[in-house]
Structure 1
Amino acid sequence: MANQLDQLTLWLKEHKITEVECLISDLTGIARGKISPTSKFINEKGMRLPESVLLQSVTGDYVEDDIYYELLDPADIDMLCRPDENAVFVVPWAIEPTAQVIHDTYDKQGRPIELSPRNILKKVLKLYADKGWKPIVAPEMEFYLTKRSDDPDYPLQPPVGRSGRQETGRQSFSIDAANEFDPLFEDMYDWCELQKLDLDTLIHEEGTAQMEINFRHGDALHLADQIIVFKRTMREAALKHNVTATFMAKPMTGEPGSAMHLHQSVVDLKTGKTVFSEDDGTMSELFRHHIGGLQKYIPEALPLFAPNVNSFRRFLPDTSAPVNVEWGEENRTVGLRVPDSDPQNRRVENRLAGADANPYLALAASLLCGYLGMIEGIEPSAPVKGRGYERRNLRLPLTLEAALERMEQSVTIEQYLGTRFTRGYVAVKRAEHENFKRVISSWEREFLLMSV
């Protein structure tokens, strides 16, 4: 640890950093922490934050008292946050030279905090390492650009591009439609390059002013860190150009939802070769079992892929999103797609996670489900050929309430992710859902006000 901190100190001095944003991720994926002068950061070698930060809902509220005091010390004690020298990024939009440093969280005995999303992902990655395996992932992030609005009751609208016009219709893969926002994306790419984010391609997705950024394949923890940083970067670049970037799963009525597609494969730590292919290039038994595990356990872990009420609007019929855990080769209508590739790059694409999911938790859950299939020898169903939207045998829970109940009852998810985390996560999401139910929607006013 001391050597790592020495390297981090040198990096901060070399880049003439004057401020450090000390970050952790809460359950939602919101960056929480403190902003510190560099000299103070170097001297203190970390920060303290109350453990209760990890039980905050997206509205800033907390879980019910009985669960709160069951999971946390009644004195609201601090946890110790230590910087990770491999998770240090500049902040290109800051006025003064600033760095953001992602921290790990520990208790006073030096044990990882069980409620921490980053620790959850590290726990799952250790399961693989103990078997001599290493997961390789490649996330794809979809998002919308919209007009800025200060009225949450007003529906979002597409932004005005360089031509002075709003985009209309579906512009899938249109170069010209993406070029409407060239100045914004130039800033975004410049900033991501300065932060050394592993971006690959930018495409215009199906929705109006909906875009997708693909990341190059790599280490799961490092890429989860990068997604947290990318989301901040994309929002800041949009604000600079007077538009909004949103990663809501379903921000606009009548438009497709936004996903975080997760490509995942597994290699042998000693040889670097994939365990998903046999020597003759055919699918391995471990690959089939990985898919079988995803099919069996994703429905039990669904709130980690679809964490909000809004997330489930992606799964409505005819919304271009998969609604089941069927699988198929080169098939985008199922939840688990096997892209065409050479044997060494054989992988499965989990298409169920929403762009609103916490990247640490979505990756942890997806990799855990596949791991369980591998160690339990779970055989997958027959692959789907043709349209998979109407398949009903492997359907997902239809609402957040049903999904939370399914996760709460899962002995396996609790066993591997921990009782404290599972209870805390479900409690936070239930608190958010209770908050949501107190708000009267425009649909209710429009159709019920004068009719019932």
Structure 2
Amino acid sequence: MTTSKFTFADLEQWFKERRVTEIECLVPDLTGVARGKILPRERFTEDRGMRLPEAVVAMGVTGEFPEVGPYYDVISPTDQDMHLRPDPTTVRIVPWATDPTAQIIHDCFDQHGKLIPFAPRSVLRRVCELYAAEGWQPVVAPELEFYLVARNPDPDIPLKPPVGRSGRAETSRQAYSIDAVNEFDPLFEDVYAYCEQMGLNVDTLIHEIGAGQMEINFFHDDPLKLADEVFFFKRTLREAAMRHDMFATFMAKPIANEPGSAMHVHQSVVSASTGKNIFSNEDGSPSQEFFWYIGGLQKYIPAAMALFAPYVNSYRRLSRNTAAPINIQWGTDNRTVGIRSPVASPSARRVENRVIGADANPYVALAATLACGYLGIKNRIAPSPECKGDAYLGDYQLPRSLGEALDLLRNEKDLAEVLGESFITVYTEVKEIEYAEFMKVISPWEREHLLLHV
């Protein structure tokens, strides 16, 4: 397990002990895809860094870039390089590699040594630094849902649950079923073995509601460290699944008529000087900061939805009575709301953001939810009264489409100030071209219902 004190000297010793011959130099892009280069160990040791075009971290999920517009007010049209520096604390072995191979995440800098402001890891660093300036340390714990599906090379064919050890695929809901998880024991044995080799602090594995839908929980820790672990885990699970002749997907809504997949994020804030949870008073009651944090989430989540639900598919998940929230109500131990406060001791008092999709970039999602809470505390935003009933009986309070969400994000100046205006510009411009690409596709629904009827 790596620590914040892990140095380059330690890194060289780490390579030597594991006889590493190759290094995967990774940079998470806006989508969460691992970009970068693979270097021989000797070359990595000599250079201890590399360069990539700055637009590499600022492309859409289809690999496209905007051709004109505000995007090029931030990113040079001359395609300048960014300088990459490895973060020694992120080094992990690549368990599935044939030769001893390490993977290490890099931060992106410009030629003057400043962090590239639109790189996802830079955005999360920026928000954490705002907390540090107040004497606070945010703590997060993601719960990541995903589907196992049968291998499917044809995007025109709907996805289906995979066949398990019994030789049968799931056809019914199996929430929390131990036996249903055990159907995929060979896969999960590999996943846990890989995670152990990589030092990923994964906790509980459960079967979620959908057919073939699972959830993995992470232990609470520092936001940047947890974002790195989610980034690594997604890559690990996909690789392990393919080795067992199936796919693992973090799409928000991969299968019609099945629940969507979320990344619920538990979050709290502790005092850097005392180590105490600022969400609780000395007598154990909830503090004003606790309520202001919730107020910030309620005020800014609608504008942050393009960050929490980044694709057209994301909004298929957020519908009434599908185990996903439709509004920004809050409540104690209430899973129908968008903002839940689990029952916990005063020292563990926390807030759970249930709006975020499994398809969200973990760096961007954690930065955005922490930004909402930060603004709530700083601006002393009072929350609405607690929802003590079924929040699905209330009105929709979230944007219903990516286009609507992008408009809200562009117009929210407070979030832009915290996350960085250049990041918001690049992100929204990239999402616009993704949306334009989607609109070129004619769906089966349109052919079925419109072809001969309109």
The answer on 1:60 being equivalent to 2:63 is: yes
Q: CA deviation at 1:55?
A: 2.1
Match of 2:227 among 202, 224, 235: 224
Match status 1:51 vs 2:65 = no
C-alpha deviations, 1:391-448, integer Å up to 9, x for none?
Answer: 22x7011110000000001111111112211110000001000000001111111111
CA contact (8 A) 1:24 1:103 kept: yes
3-state SS of 2:445 partner: helix
Query: Does the residue aligned with 1:136 lie in a helix, a strand or coil?
Result: strand
2:136 matched to which residue of 1?
133
Question: What does residue 378 of structure 2 align with?
Answer: 375
The CA RMSD measured in Å over matched residues stands at 1.2
Structure 2 match to 1:245 = 248
Tell me which residue corresponds to 2:29: 26
Residues 440, 331 of structure 1: CA spacing in aligned structure 2 closer, same or farther, 3 A cutoff? same
Match of 1:408 among 398, 407, 410: 410
Query: Displacement of 1:311 after TM fit?
Result: 0.4
CA contact (8 A) 1:21 1:98 kept: yes
Q: For residue 217 of structure 1, give the secondary structure of its aligned residue in structure 2.
A: coil
2:309 equivalent in structure 1: 306
Cα drift, residue 149 of structure 1: 0.8
Name the CA distance, whole Å, in 1 between partners of 2:70 and 2:101: 38
Distance 1:82 1:339, change over 3 A: same
Which of 285, 300, 323 is equivalent to 1:320? 323
Contact kept, 8 Å, 1:55 with 1:63, in 2: the verdict is no
- State which of 204, 209, 213 in structure 2 corresponds to 1:210: 213
- SS where residue 309 of structure 1 aligns? coil
Instruction: Answer yes or no: is the 8 Å Cα contact 1:5–1:45 preserved in 2.
Output: no
Please say if 1:188 is aligned against 2:191: yes
Of 413, 423, 426, 1:424 maps to 426
Partner AA of 1:219 in structure 2:
D
The answer as to 2:124 corresponding to 1:118 is: no
Pairing partner for 1:170 from 145, 168, 173: 173
Which of residues 425, 447, 452 is equivalent to 1:450? Answer: 452
Separation in 2, partners of 1:47, 1:341: 46
Aligned-partner Cα distance in 1 for 2:71–2:364? 21
Runs of 4+ in structure 1 deviating by more than 6 angstroms, as ranges, are none
Matched, 1:201 2:166: no
User: 1 CA distance for matches of 2:393 and 2:315?
Assistant: 17
**Do the aligned partners of 1:147 and 1:156 also contact (CA within 8 Å) in 2?**
yes
TM-score (norm 2): 0.98
Aligned to 1:396: 398
Q: Deviations over 1:307-337 (max 9, x none)?
A: 0000000112222100111100000000000
CA distance in 1, matches of 2:5, 2:359: 36
d(CA) in 1 for partners of 2:90, 2:38: 16
Query: Which of 265, 268, 289 lines up with 1:265 in the alignment?
Result: 268
Deviations 1:359-394 (A, max 9, x none): 0000000011001111111100111112101222x7
- CA-CA distance at 1:66 after TM superposition: 2.9
2:337 corresponding residue in structure 1: 334
1:281 counterpart residue number: 284
* CA separation of 1:2 and 1:40: change in aligned 2, threshold 3 A: farther
1:233-282 per-position Cα deviation (integer Å, ceiling 9, x unaligned): 00011001001000000000000000000000000001111000011110
Alignment check: 8 A CA contact 1:309 1:433 kept: yes
Contact 2:147 2:213 in 1 (8 A): yes
Could you tell me whether the CA contact under 8 Å between 2:27 and 2:57 is conserved in 1? no
3-state secondary structure, aligned to 1:298: helix
The Cα shift of 1:3 comes to: 8.6
The 3-state SS of whatever aligns with 1:35 is strand
1:161-190 per-position Cα deviation (integer Å, ceiling 9, x unaligned): 000001111000000000000000000000
Which amino acid in 1 is paired with 2:427? Y
Assess if the C-alpha contact under 8 Å between 1:64 and 1:431 holds in 2.
no
Deviates more, 1:333-342 or 1:73-82: 73-82
Map 1:98-113 → 2, pairs under 5 A: 98-113=101-116
Q: Please report how far the alpha carbon of residue 2 of structure 1 lies from its aligned counterpart in structure 2 after TM superposition.
A: 12
Give the structure 2 partner of residue 348 of structure 1.
351
Deviation track 1:86-134 (CA, whole Å, cap 9, x = no partner) reads 1111110111111110000100100010111001000000111011100
SS in structure 2 at match of 1:41: helix
Quickly say closer, same or farther: Cα 1:3–1:363, change in 2 above 3 A: closer
Q: 1:69 aligns with which of 72, 75, 86?
A: 72
Once the two structures are superposed, residues 133-158 of structure 1 have per-residue CA deviations (whole angstroms, 9 ceiling, x without a partner) of 00110000000000001110100001
Instruction: Give yes or no for contact 1:135–1:264 (8 Å, CA) kept in 2.
Output: yes
Measure the CA separation in 1 of the matches of 2:385 and 2:119: 37
Structure 1 alignment gaps of length 5 or more: none
Q: 1:264, 1:348 within 8 Å by CA — same for their partners in 2?
A: yes
Contact 1:143 1:212 in 2 (8 A): yes
Q: Number of residues paired by the alignment?
A: 451
Q: Secondary structure at the match of 1:66?
A: coil
Conserved in 1, the CA contact under 8 Å of 2:280 and 2:349? yes
1:34 partner SS: strand
**Of 156, 159, 170, which aligns to 1:153?**
156
Q: Per-residue displacement from partner, 1:330-371 (whole Å, max 9, x unpaired)? A: 000000000001000000000000000000000000011001
Contact 1:248 1:355 in 2 (8 A): yes
Q: What is the CA-CA distance between 1:69 and the residue it aligns to?
A: 2.6
CA distance in 2, matches of 1:434, 1:321: 26
One-letter amino acid of the counterpart of residue 221, structure 1: L
Asked if the contact 2:82–2:110 (Cα under 8 Å) also holds between the matched residues in 1, the reply is: yes
Query: Equivalent of 1:435, from 434, 437, 450?
Result: 437
State the identity as a percent: 55
Whole-Å separation in 1 of the counterparts to 2:325 and 2:83: 40
SS of the equivalent of 2:69 reads helix
Do 1:335 and 1:351's aligned partners in 2 also have CA atoms closer than 8 Å? yes
Show CA shifts across 1:196-238 (max 9, x none): 0010000000000100000001111001000000000000110
Uncovered stretches (5+) of structure 2, i.e. residues with no partner: none
Tell me which amino acid in the other structure corresponds to 1:289. Answer: W
How many angstroms apart in 1 are the aligned matches of 2:353 and 2:260?
Answer: 15
Q: Which amino acid aligns with 1:444?
A: E
